[in-house]
Structure formats: structure tokens, C-alpha cells
Amino acid sequence: MRKNAEKQGTYRYILFYKPYGVLTAFTDPEGRPTLKDWIPVPDVYPAGRLDMDSEGLLFLSNDGDLMHRITDPRYQHPKTYLVQVEGVVSGEALAKLRRGVEVKGRQTQRCQVMVIPEPDLPPRAKPVTPHGPTTWLRMVLTEGKKRQVRHMTAAVGHPTLRLVRVAIGPLSLEGLTPGEWRDLTPQELALLKRSLRLTDGRIPAMSAGNARESRYRNAARQSSNRGSRPSGADDPVQE
């Protein structure tokens, strides 16, 4: 469902609340639900991914410069997740997550983690059925390897049961329900650009930055069409 659409010149900047069970791609040879089933906008691509069993915020655009800033790990753009895990998380486990844990032979960066009360979230299409006590965490990461949050919580003995990305930088899920999308307002776009250190005086991506935009869009298109990334590929807005 489209809400409060705003078009920013020739570029589109879209927020989408990805439901559980939707593939972060526009095509899928296996016939699974994809972004195409929800977002009828041509030539936009997601900045990063969420697994099929993860939910929450996706940002899509055709602005190559801006997408590059969001996805380049050098810019340390934060992503915020609400995570339900098995068991009661101890202070020691929280400290390990904050310092970084080893995932597939590589130490994760420091991150923010805190225990929170159960959040008021829309019910998931496939309800979580825990077999014991659970804990909700708020995690803020500035990097993103494949299934990183899930690997991190598992590494400290608390497998993830439900994961919802609620924010990418200053952008949030506020006002959206699962399956809804909308364009950014001019105010949100200005705030995003400030957070990315992009000024109005930048060189437009479709002129001098065309080569970079072309590389980004080609890579995004190939990834979207495949429905998956190469094994081990970095993706700073990944879950």
C-alpha cells in the first residue's frame, strides 16, 4: 500500500516495511514473494537486504550517490534492530555483544546493545513459538555481514527468534505497517542527506558521478535478480 507519496525530481526515495516471508529481490526463479509483489516502482533498488525470515525497514532508491553513502561501511551508517532471543540474557553476554564476537573467523565491530521491554510490534505472519523464556534486545550496528545479528546472538548462547529492523540512520518505520511503502518527505530526505554528509552542492550522480551510479545499479540489479549475494559478501545494511 502506498502512503503520502512524494516524488523528489527524477529520483525516488522509498521506505518499505518488509513483511516476514518476502524475499529482498524483485525476481525469484522459485516463485517466492518478492518486492515486486509490493512495490510497483521501476528501476529502484534496495540498499542492503533483510532475510526472508526478518522483517522491517528497507530503503530503496535510484540515486546512486546516496545509495553508495548508505552502503559503504566507511560511513558507519547505523542500523537499529529489535531482536527477540531465546533465554534470559546475562550482563556478561551483553558485554560480549558490545565488544564484538567472532563470527566465521572474524571479529564483529563494537555495537550498542540493551535489554528492552517487549515492544509493541505488529504480529508476524508466522508467529514465534518459544519453548521457554525470551529476551528482547535493541541492537545498533554500523556494519552488516550476512545474517550478522543472528550469528552474534547465537555466539553468546541466545539464538534469534524474531528480528525487526526499525531504523536506518534517521529513517524509521514510524507510520508504516507490514507491506506498506511510501516516498520520503522532503524533510526526511534533507535529514538523511545531512546524516550522510551529502550537501545540496554535490555533483549529481547522473552526471560526473554516473560511472559510480552505473556500477552500483548494475550490482544491485544483479543481486536483486539473483535473490541472494555471493557467499561472504559485505553488505552494511544487511541482516
Query: Which CATH number characterizes residue 125's domain?
Result: 3.30.70.1560
- Answer yes or no: do 95 and 133 share one domain: yes
> Is residue 236 in a domain?
no
Which one of the listed residues 28, 51, 63, 183 is annotated catalytic?
Answer: 51
> Is residue 53 in a domain?
yes
pLDDT at position 14 over 50: yes
- Answer yes or no: do 196 and 176 share one domain: yes
More confident residue, 55 or 217: 55
> Is residue 4 in a domain?
no
pLDDT at position 79 over 90: yes
- Answer yes or no: do 94 and 204 share one domain: no
pLDDT at res. 9: 54
> Is residue 234 in a domain?
no
Count of alpha carbons within 13 angstroms of residue 49, beta-carbon side = 26
Instruction: Kindly give, in sequence order, each residue whose CB lies less than 8 Å from that of residue 116, ignoring residues fewer than 6 positions away.
Output: 82, 136, 137, 138
pLDDT at res. 200: 56
pLDDT at position 188 over 70: yes
- Answer yes or no: do 26 and 109 share one domain: no
d(CA 102, CA 88): 21
- In this predicted structure, which of 58-62, 75-79, 202-206, 216-220 has the lowest mean pLDDT? 202-206
- In this predicted structure, which of 60-69, 122-131, 192-201 has the lowest mean pLDDT? 192-201
- Answer yes or no: do 205 and 157 share one domain: no
Locate cell 523464556: which residue? 133
Report the number of distinct structural domains present in the chain. 2
CB count in 10 Å sphere of residue 158: 22
Mode of pairing for the β-strands spanning 55-61 and 160-168: parallel
From residue 9, give the alpha-carbon distance in Å to each of 5, 35, 194.
13, 23, 18
Cell (9 digits) for 182: 511510501
Q: Which domain holds residue 148?
A: 76-168
pLDDT at res. 116: 98
> Is residue 233 in a domain?
no
pLDDT tens for each residue of 154-179: 999 999 999 999 999 999 999 999 99
pLDDT tens for each residue of 108-151: 999 999 999 999 999 998 999 999 999 999 999 998 778 899 99
pLDDT at res. 65: 87
Closest CA to 96 of 157, 166, 141: 157
Task: Write down which residue in 130, 145, 168 finishes a domain.
Answer: 168
Instruction: Kindly give, in sequence order, each residue whose CB lies less than 8 Å from that of residue 25, ignoring residues fewer than 6 positions away.
Output: 34, 35, 223, 224, 225, 226, 227, 228
Query: Is residue 37 annotated as part of the catalytic site, yes or no?
Result: no
- Answer yes or no: do 112 and 159 share one domain: yes
